[in-house]
Structures are given as C-alpha cells and as structure tokens.
Amino acid sequence: MGTEIERKFLVRGEAWRSLAEGILYRQGYLSIEPDRTVRVRIAGNQGYLTIKGLSDGIRRAEYEYAIPIQDATELLDTLCQPPLIEKQRYRIAWGDAIWEVDEFLGDNQGLIVAEIELNHPDQPFDRPDWIGAEVSHDPRYFNASLVKYPFCQWRANASQP
C-alpha cells in the first residue's frame, strides 16, 4: 500500500520565490468523499490519476499513476467537479528534504502553502525561515476542500459579522 505522510504550512514573505522555478498544475476531483478522494492532475506536460484514503493525522493511503495527458485533459474538462484547482508549484530543496510550495491561482489566489513529505510522522526536518504556521490538521487547506470552499470565500465571509 502507498502511504503519504505530509505536513502542511502557510508561507510567509517572498524569500522562497528565488529558490525554484514554478510549474503550472491544473487539477480536479472525480470524488471528494470523506473516506476517499480521486484526483486528476496535469503537472507541466504530464497527466496523473491519484487516489487518496481517509486521513489519519498526517498519514493516509495514496496511489498515484501517470496517465496520458490527453486523458487527463478530457477528464478535467468533462468529468471533474468544478471549479478546478490551478496553482504554481515550486519544488525547493532544503536540508535533506524537498519542500513543495503551492501558490494558488483563480478562486484560491492569495493562498500560499508549503508541504513536506516525511518517512514517518515524527521525522525531524529543517524548517526554512519562510515557513509560517502549521495547517496540517485544518481541512480547509486540503486541495479537495478548496473546490467546495475556495479561499476567496474565506476572505469574503471573514468581513461578515
């Protein structure tokens, strides 16, 4: 079984921008059930199908498969739940790890998060100074949640009593 162990943080400042080139990601969901998500993604010029299980803390089952980009495009355009998630992803080597910084576009513009994948939940890691508060356990920051409740709505609702 494939397992993902991932911690997620908000990003602060701009220092991270000079550390990597961004790649455009476009992704959508065929299923966003609490027990499982099924995602279609185009990253650069490669398509992927990913199945993820229910989160257990920062751990969950994950299976990812490369698929033809034509299939991924068709699935995104015809079967995935709108809206699609679009973002620039920056892969930044730091210490012994790779940080993935996602700068969201569209309805989620203004949201920037960084993720680090670990081998076990208690694994120590170097934390860059541009890493802010941890949001690993806040479901609002899950990409699948951003389909149902985009970041632009958070800001609009924050100004209401």
Mind telling me the catalytic residues?
29
Please give the angle made by the CA atoms of 144, 147 and 149, to the nearest 5 degrees: 105
pLDDT score of 157 more than 70 = no
Residue 102 confidence (pLDDT) above 60: yes
Tell whether the torsion through CA atoms of 24, 4, 133 and 126 is positive or negative.
negative
> Considering the domain 3-158, what is its CATH architecture?
Beta Barrel (2.40)
The predicted-structure confidence for 5-53, as pLDDT tens digits, reads as follows: 999 999 999 999 999 999 999 999 999 988 899 999 999 999 999 999 9
Q: Which amino acid is at 70?
A: Q
Contact by Cβ (8 Å): 10, 111: no
Asked whether the beta carbons of 146 and 25 are under 8 A apart, the reply is: no
Copy the structure tokens of residue 109: 């513009």
Could you tell me the residue ranges of all domains in the chain?
Answer: 3-158
Whether residue 102 contacts residue 39, with contact meaning beta carbons closer than 8 Å, is answered with no
